[in-house]
Amino acid sequence: MTLQGNAVEASARGENQDVPRRARENGRGEHPMAKSETAVAAENSRAKRLVAIVTPLYRLPLAEDDKVSLHHLREYLGEFDRFLVGPEKLLRDLAGAGEFCGFTLRIFPDRFFKSVQDYSRLMVTEEFYRAFSDYEYILIYQLDCLVFSQDLEDWCHRGWDYIGAPWFKDHGENTAEGFWAVGNGGLSLRNVASALNVLTSTQLVDDPKVRGRKTQGFGSMPRLRNLLIALRTFLLGRGYHNHVRWLIREYEKHPKFHEDLFWAFGARRVMPDFKTPTPQQAVAFSFEMAPRYCFEANSSRLPFGCHAWAKYDRAFWEPFLLK
């Protein structure tokens, strides 16, 4: 079901400002209007299938800051397919709602929208990523994000499986030790096929022999200990407590479980070639905590976007808000 309204909204930056970038992309320096209508339509179709924007919605009415976030999304990324993800009880009455003109609905069970942890459980399910399997990438764009650039396709072409704002040590705000890891899921670009490969993997998470020896049992009884190690190694080698669903359940046990922890750290345990950037590469994509530090680390340039702008140093972002 598609909401009423035009699904493709013109960028407020104006068509003429977009010509240089598109001219570079076609490789011949041609003005895009010089192409046939069929060629332009085909090019636009390919661009839409490259990436879709996915915005979770769990509450109404929208706060004023939510509307600012949507304004930035429409202005900079209005040409891309946009989806609204939420529970049926919330989304079913949205047809014709002005703020969501141009969004397509993707309804998921209500149980995934009762808390932050429930939403995180949705984001580590096959069901979620299969809903967007027509696209190579999805950009998760929560309603506490901003975007400042039209360069979404460029980020897709860099080939990362997952990218979000870099974190500081232990997910804190202390910048003394510099960046720690990548990264935040609130504004994140994800390779759909790679996510599904991780979630459907039959690979063992850990080496059974290495993990089997880590038992602390029967330390003073070598024979029993060796039997225990052999049994553990056997079971781990058969996937018992050593597969992707087990690993996800281990993450979900944490009382403050956030799905981006799995994609930042856990995915590579399942798929060692799962590609994420370095924090220094990711800072050009997004800021979250300590935006002034990130701005300096990014050569005093704005990133592609940011997450939690109103929570972490709102005063820094105020001059860059669209009016």
pLDDT average, residue stretch 59-83 = 95
User: What is the domain extent for residue 231?
Assistant: 208-242
- Residues 137, 232, single domain; the answer is no
Asked if pLDDT for residue 239 goes beyond 70, the answer is yes
pLDDT value of position 31: 36
Q: What is the CATH number of the domain that holds 78?
A: 3.90.550
- Residues 195, 105, single domain; the answer is yes
pTM (2 d.p.)? 0.81
- Residues 162, 218, single domain; the answer is no
Q: How many domains does the chain have?
A: 2
Residue 4 domain-assigned (yes or no): no
Asked if pLDDT for residue 18 goes beyond 50, the answer is no
Q: What is the C-alpha to C-alpha distance for residues 198 and 244, in angstroms, rounded to an integer? A: 8
Band (pLDDT 50/70/90 cuts) for residue 290 is: very high
Provide the percentage of residues in the chain whose pLDDT is more than 70: 84
- Residues 73, 191, single domain; the answer is yes
pLDDT average, residue stretch 166-194 = 94
How many Cα atoms sit within 13 Å of 296 on the Cβ side? Answer: 6
Asked if pLDDT for residue 277 goes beyond 80, the answer is yes
Asked if pLDDT for residue 24 goes beyond 50, the answer is no
In 3-state terms the chain splits into helix, strand, coil percentages (rounded to 5) of 45, 15, 40
Q: What is the C-alpha to C-alpha distance for residues 185 and 112, in angstroms, rounded to an integer? A: 16
- Residues 227, 92, single domain; the answer is no
Residue 253 domain-assigned (yes or no): no
- Residues 132, 175, single domain; the answer is yes
Q: Which of 11-25, 147-161, 237-251 has the lowest mean pLDDT?
A: 11-25
Q: Kind of pairing, strands 145-147 and 179-182? A: unpaired
Q: How many residues does the chain have?
A: 323
